[in-house]
Amino acid sequence: MIRAAFLDRDGTMIHDPGYLADPAGVALLDGTAAAVALLRRSGYTVVVVSNQSGVARGLYGAAGVAAVNQRMMDLLAAVEPEARIAAVYVCPHGPEDGCPCRKPRPGLLLRAALDLDIDLAGSLAVGDSSRDVEAALAAGIPAPRVLQLGAPDSRPSLLAAIQHLLPQVSISRGGRTPGVIP
């Protein structure tokens, strides 16, 4: 089994203008490529998990989501050749659909774990909302390995978050709550 780093896409890895379907609008957040490369050098397979309710709302189709994901991966590789994403899992459903893969439910992470033979207890997760934290915890990722980025106006880079989180991986799981970087 492998260890994975589950990363949210919008607001965590790329700027989130809301319902992004045009690959020309993709802009990496500061430190994203370096963070992905650091995770890979630290032995993690990087997996992106993202809610994309714009599909259910009819704002764009699966092809738009795929084009944005591809552009993000191309930009990562252009900035840092080691910044490679192993897989991207997307929930195209809306909040009212009751889908088990839509975060805060753990379906995306559980499916990735099955597909890629991931050890969830040895994995970690970073996102920008409580939905990301809830999904990771529900999937079985221990609290010290789950991090929610703080407020958008003062949010640290993904690299800073990963640099904060990696040392936490060796801390005992007992009683810790997920971290929040303000």
* Residue 176 pLDDT class (50, 70, 90 cuts): very low
Question: Cβ-count burial of 78 within 10 angstroms (0-12 exposed, 13-18 middle, 19+ buried)?
Answer: exposed
Longest Cα–Cα distance of the chain, Å, equals 45
Tell me, rounded to whole angstroms, the distance of Cα 171 from its chain centroid.
22
Q: Provide, rounded to the nearest whole percent, the portion of the chain with pLDDT above 70.
A: 93
Identify the CATH class of 3-181: alpha beta
Closest CA to 158 of 4, 44, 20, 11: 11
8 Å CB contact between 152 and 182: no
Average pLDDT over residues 56-75: 97
Greater confidence, 164 or 155?
164
Q: 């993904």: which residue's tokens?
A: 158
Task: Please give the model's pTM, rounded to 2 decimal places.
Answer: 0.92
Instruction: Average the pLDDT over 25-36 and give the result.
Output: 97
Nearest to 72 by CA among 55, 90, 58: 90
Query: Hey, where are the domains in the chain?
Result: 3-181
174 falls in which pLDDT band (50, 70, 90)?
A: very low
Q: Which residues are catalytic?
A: 8, 10
Query: What is the average pLDDT score of the chain?
Result: 92
Structure token pair of residue 1 = 């089994």
Q: So what's the pLDDT on residue 150?
A: 80
